[in-house]
Structure 1
């Protein structure tokens, strides 16, 4: 497999890297799995008796990812962005399903296919907006969503560590939001690292065997906000064509 060419960094990405470790961790979380499925393997159910339809591949998800052409308000989309630097995981096993959900990757497993992008909107200022699509074998996406939802009430506050051993503190809670796709969940996550606090708000929606993860973080340390409904609806409409 030849490595994919790294695209030019969008302005939002450069702001994130300048803003410090807390924002880097907050935005890297949603992109942990990007590239993990860059080479699609055998599709589940490809041999033996007919099984459920195979989940979308990375190529199919990339084709279904929103693009700049989908918007008329000046929104720009930069696909296939991966984070540099460290990520963190929780050291509380009971809260691992929350991190698994927000990164759409369970411990030791990778999705069948992934695609991701950073979104910049006119007047977005200090915001960093990320979209990640990840497909799974039949039934797994719903399980991942359910386990994360079940764990959230007991994970209002928990900690993790970076690869370098730096302690990261998290607070997490569900927030009111419309229902998207077949089922969805909205979460507010506050990440504190090296004395800096960053709030990110997520919408995670299931479309068939694919999870669409949308995150908005504020590099200025503001309270954050939920992803725009228009973005979520547009992406889910496109995802419905490949589920």
Structure 2
């Protein structure tokens, strides 16, 4: 059986809080892919009081979704990992921290499709909004885009704490990011869950030194995983 580190299980746990599913899963590993497209929207500099400003800018409501808060402790894995290929390290870091590069501040929201009665398998999306030192956001996305191009064949990661086993990332597939802001990047990380393919979707959009990250997965129906355009549009509208 493929071993999955506590780091990776916790990284996926960002969406288990939303979908109430991953606590029952025993073995998961993933891998990814990426794509970039230039946006045309206005630029926004990271505000001085970044954390408070991010709270005002992050998406508050989306039709068809229930929006709730999330803490860094729920979302981020704390154990450092090393990618088998140095060029792939930005992707490995993204999986663990649910943020690109090294932002100054990040706030999170969890969105789950609303339905009555409540469908525990409904699509879920995590949104992270980050601010960076001047120029840091563009550098973070550039490094991630380069990693996606260099790591199409996949890579593995090992935990710095000496934990046995490794996380296996088998494929990197670039996708088209949304237009409308300064820059966007989208990709799919493909792994396995109990021998079955498990894709993880990531989309990032940048305006100035602020980056919005969208992350989605669906272990109940992997083929249907997607980041709803209404979610990205709602967040992007708040950044324009």
One fold, TM greater than 0.5? yes
What is the distance in 2 between the residues matched to 1:58 and 1:85?
A: 20
Shift of residue 167, structure 1, vs aligned partner: 1.0
Contact 2:187 2:202 in 1 (8 A): yes
Deviations 1:140-171 (A, max 9, x none): 11111112112212202100124533311112
> Equivalent residue for 1:37?
none
What is the distance in 2 between the residues matched to 1:193 and 1:159?
A: 16
Moved more, 148-157 or 82-91: 82-91
1:12 is aligned to 2:11: no
- The change in CA–CA distance for 1:235 and 1:92 in structure 2 (over 3 A counts) is same
SS in 2 for 1:97: helix
What is the distance in 2 between the residues matched to 1:180 and 1:76?
A: 25
Shift of residue 139, structure 1, vs aligned partner: 0.9
CA RMSD of aligned residues (A): 3.0
What TM-score, normalized to structure 1?
0.69
What is the distance in 1 between the residues matched to 2:201 and 2:158?
A: 21
Q: Any gaps of 5 or more consecutive residues in structure 1?
A: 1-8, 27-51
* Within-5 A mapping of 1:93-242: 93-100=86-93, 103-106=98-101, 110-122=102-114, 125-156=121-152, 157-162=154-159, 163=161, 164-170=163-169, 171-192=171-192, 195=195, 197-220=197-220, 222-240=222-240
- The change in CA–CA distance for 1:223 and 1:112 in structure 2 (over 3 A counts) is same
What TM-score, normalized to structure 2?
0.70
SS in 1 for 2:114: coil
Q: Any gaps of 5 or more consecutive residues in structure 2?
A: 1-14, 32-44
- The change in CA–CA distance for 1:66 and 1:178 in structure 2 (over 3 A counts) is closer
What is the distance in 2 between the residues matched to 1:235 and 1:84?
A: 21
SS in 2 for 1:226: coil
Larger relative contact order (CA 8 Å, sep ≥ 6): 2
Shift of residue 11, structure 1, vs aligned partner: 6.2
